Amino acid sequence: MQVPFYGHVKQYENIKDEIDANIKRVLMSGKYVQGPMLTEFEEQAKEYFGSKYAIGVGNGTDAIWLSLMALGIGAGDEVITHANTFFATAEAAWIAGAKVILVDSDPKTKCIDPTKLEAAITDKTKAIIPVHLYGQCADMPAIWDIAEKHNLLVIEDNAQGIDGAGANFKQGERSAAVTTSYIIQKNLGCFGDGGMVFTDREDLNSTIRRLRNHGSDKRDKHSYGFNSRLDDLQAGVLSAKMKQITKLTDRRIELAMRYNEGLKDAKAINLPYATPGYRHVYHLYVIETKDASKRDELLKYLNDNGVDAKTHYSVAIHQQEGFPWGKEVEIRGSLENAEKNAATCVSLPMFPELTEEEIDYVAEQVLAWDAKQNG
């Protein structure tokens, strides 16, 4: 059996009628940039998310740095995030001109470790960007408490966590903004690139709208800005898919539970940790080898046996050689958990269109490898 990592075409086939209808509607409207479909999707998205504003932008990276810029954060400021996120989180803070401060992650949740934050805060610190990594919310109440104590802004990078929630908190409840990516492989993905900022702040809403459109909110009037708009065609695709998001997430959770059950007796791996009471949306189902020296072997075994397993992310941010270390990016404290995560992670196929048979086949392959580890 071959088990792919993504099911983009299957998902399109399942939602085809509504997606096609929306695409046709956009095409026939003749308005493809900042047209009525974008407005319609933004209205739908803010209702769904429960924020006052939702601003469609070009991608999830832009959503972060446009938020930082709209908040006045840039050169001379420090922004804290964690070292085992996708590169774009740190990159976005760097694009905004801020110094990127990397702290460690929690060994269980893999999200930013709130207990590492205070030691990393200086008088230059302006914001914290927690990431809802793999689909599980970071410990937001602890992060918000620290941010409020030190007068810092919080931007949640929710590229991997759309439709997720905490045990007794909602995403964005005490944050300046929540950003997301709509790139195709995300839990809510368009047919290309897209992103969004959710916020309750009117000033952020109006500034980001201007920034995304060459600094213009009125014909022929411009201040500084960029080009980062969510296309109407992509908005149409997202609008159709957003109506299904709860169902799609529930299916991911169901499949994750099936993996958990199938893999519960494995000895050489740890299963993903889900914080009790949280809605973990399993953007990724990431297991880890207990022995870091065995990770590549497991990955190869799965790949050789038809399972398109991957790593997220085998090189932590501070291990990226291309980043401008020193002046613009700095490590505060040990990053041992991030390094361990990079060395041991293996992502198993996870998307709502997977079948039970495919999940069981993947679990069997992991167990076959696991059995060999135990003699």
Burial 207-224 (b: 16+ CB within 10 A, else e): bbbbbbbeeeeeeeeeee
Residue with Cβ nearer ligand PLP (57 or 366)? 57
For the bound state, the minimum distance from the C-beta of residue 354 to ligand PLP, rounded and expressed in Å, comes to 20
Residue with Cβ nearer ligand PLP (64 or 348)? 64
Give yes or no for residue 139 binding ligand PLP (CB under 6 A): no
Give yes or no for residue 88 binding ligand PLP (CB under 6 A): yes
The residue range among 155-163, 196-204, 257-265, 343-351 that interacts with ligand PLP, by the rule CB under 6 A, is 155-163
For the bound state, the minimum distance from the C-beta of residue 210 to ligand PLP, rounded and expressed in Å, comes to 20
CB of 237 closer than 8 Å to CB of 230: no
The residue range among 42-50, 85-93, 196-204, 255-263 that interacts with ligand PLP, by the rule CB under 6 A, is 85-93
For the bound state, the minimum distance from the C-beta of residue 265 to ligand PLP, rounded and expressed in Å, comes to 31
Contact with ligand PLP (CB under 6 A) among 85, 136, 175, 207: 85
User: Please, which of residues 55-74 interact with ligand PLP by CB under 6 A?
Assistant: 59-61
The 107-136 contact track toward ligand PLP, x by CB under 6 A, reads ------------------------x-----
Residue with Cβ nearer ligand PLP (157 or 232)? 157
For the bound state, the minimum distance from the C-beta of residue 161 to ligand PLP, rounded and expressed in Å, comes to 9
The residue range among 21-29, 54-62, 224-232, 296-304 that interacts with ligand PLP, by the rule CB under 6 A, is 54-62
For the bound state, the minimum distance from the C-beta of residue 86 to ligand PLP, rounded and expressed in Å, comes to 4
Contact with ligand PLP (CB under 6 A) among 135, 195, 225, 262: 195
Which residues are at the interface with ligand PLP (CB under 6 A)?
59-61, 85-86, 88-89, 131, 157, 159-160, 181, 183, 193, 195
